[in-house]
Chain A
Amino acid sequence: MTGKRLWSWFAVALGGLYFLLPLAGMVDFSMRMKRGEYSFEAYRIVLADPQFQQTLGYSVLLALLTIVLGILLVVPTAYFVRLRLPGLRPIIEFITLLPLVIPPIVIVFGYIRIYNTSSVLPLTGTWWGTNLLLLFGYATLALPYMYRSVDTGLRTIDIASLTEAAQSLGAGWARILAVVILPNVFVSVLSGAFLTLAIVIGEYVFAALLNVNSFGPYMVWMGGNRAYEPSALAVVAFAITWACMGLIQIVTRFSRFSTVRR
């Protein structure tokens, strides 16, 4: 028994070394901007950079819009499929898995071919169109995570009874979805939302190929032109990812108390 325990500690320690060293390296490098001493100089420069504020702000806003669009697309669909159209379930599940199968670079390549300036729907020709296309692209990437978390949430509540109760009180479909269903699955929606946030904020390929100057392309530009600032950016990005995952943990723990055990 002790031998097994020793081996387990050894495996975990070795893994810990591999996973912590890059984090240590990243933090260490980000603080070495001033020769001979540790300082937060690189962070000060990055945080004061108007480009940083602008691109990060843009990416956060886009991530929030992606989450809203994702909820609008996925919640009614998952609800109607569960309640009325169970035959569609395999098809919907297959479609929501596709963004994990098709590499994102291929999807954005398709956008560029279909929605270019010489097409029927020339979205890439205008500023608004390009941003809209990027938003739709991110909503597509988020589909697997959003659908799965919403569907899991719907499984824990009795949507048939809730719907009948709401209908008997005279609620219409839009009202049922917005006032009855969404609040009940909100906690599981949130965990999909935070995952979406983590994915969208640093995304590079979609933004770069659609020529949108968001946080991902900004980081790559920094990587090519500066020495210490990229590490500071990596620390910031890691903190954001960590915060998103931490929020998912908190939210799911919270949900264990808020939903009825059946």
Chain B
Amino acid sequence: MTTSAALLPAALGPRQFLNWLGVAPFFLFATLFLILPTLNIVIGAFRNPQGQVTLDNLGKLLSPSIRSAFWISIELSLLTAALGCLFGFFIAAAITLGDLPRWLRNGILTFSGVASNFAGVPLAFAFIATLGRLGFVTMLLRNWFGINLYGSGFSIVSFLGLVLTYLYFQIPLMVLIITPALEGLRREWREAAESLGASGAQYWRMVALPVLWPSLLGTLALLFANAFGAVATAIALTGSSLSIAPIVLFAQIRGDVLNDPHLGYAIAFGMILLTAIANAIYIFLRMRAERWVK
């Protein structure tokens, strides 16, 4: 059966009609509750309240407050994605290549599965209880080491606090995604490099990293999108005191701020655009990476 035949229900017999009936509920559901709502937002971003086509809404994204909200969001997502990749890579390298006991490796992978899903409100509470004004680590540092964390200007309700909190789900996600890629590095490659006289550093720089490069960059893009869409963690941690793009959109939808739905459309469109670009990069690089890692 060719693809074009499968896509033409009209010219088919009752049997094919039944097949299409089997997938119809899925398409109906996806259209109503995924595609139409998103299209509505995208189209709304290019329309004014009178229904005419306009670029004014997108222009409003350039106003100083919205622009800075997007900028903080991008910085936050990029920084946590980069740090998440870096630390996640070290942990994944330690458990795949570092001769650690098997139980530790399995334990870390299971924990990564839990921690990458432990985002949102409870995660924010855990960090407030740990690094808040009266938190566990704050008190520990003060009572045992005489370090006054909050006296030095640190606050959990800040950019740095959000970075520390986001890393709690970013690092495990990196570990989960990059571990299979590291396991795909064949022993023969290393042996071949060594037999040609390469040092450990040369092997990494000239063999392993070029092979891993698409996986690493792709995961970076995925982690970026992951952080960019996270709202609940930020709201539970900071209330709405830190102005990042999803929090601004949340406030817009609630009608707390200027009640301009079309500005809301534009912010939402901006968010879709950024996460879509990040995911497209991820998918593209992943396909390239799969050439090497089977």
Contacts and interface: CB of A to CB of B under 8 A. Distances in A.
A112 interface: yes
Nearest to A84: B19
Q: How large is the interface on A (under 10, 10 to 19, 20 to 34, 35 or more residues)?
A: 35 or more
A181 to B, nearest CB: 11
B26 to A, nearest CB: 4
A139 to B, nearest CB: 7
Tell me the interface secondary structure of chain A in the complex. helix
Tell me the interface secondary structure of chain B in the complex. helix
Interface stretch (A48-56, A91-99, A153-161, A254-262): A91-99
Contact of A21 (B4, B38, B100, B136): B136
A223 B125 contact: yes
Given A99-B34, A106-B38, A241 B275 contact: no
Contacts, number: 271
A12 B95 contact: yes
Interface in A225-261: 230-231, 233-234, 237-238, 241-242, 244-246, 248-249
A216 B121 contact: yes
B89 to A, nearest CB: 10
A77 B19 CA distance: 9
A223 B121 contact: yes
B232 interface: yes
B23 interface: yes
Interface residues of B, number: 88
A22 interface: yes
Given A15-B87, A87-B7, A233-B122, A76 B40 contact: no
Interface stretch (B55-63, B203-211, B247-255): B247-255
B188 interface: no
Which residue among A7, A8, A202, A248 has the maximum number of chain B CB atoms within 10 Å of its CB? Answer: A8
Contact of B129 (A11, A219, A234): A234
A88 B129 contact: no
Interface string B131-152: 1001111000000000000000
Contacts of A81: 23
B231 interface: yes
B127 to A, nearest CB: 6
Contacts of B225: 100-101
Given A143-B30, A220-B121, A245-B113, 7 more contacts: A72-B25, A76-B23, A113-B40, A113-B41, A173-B18, A223-B128, A233-B122
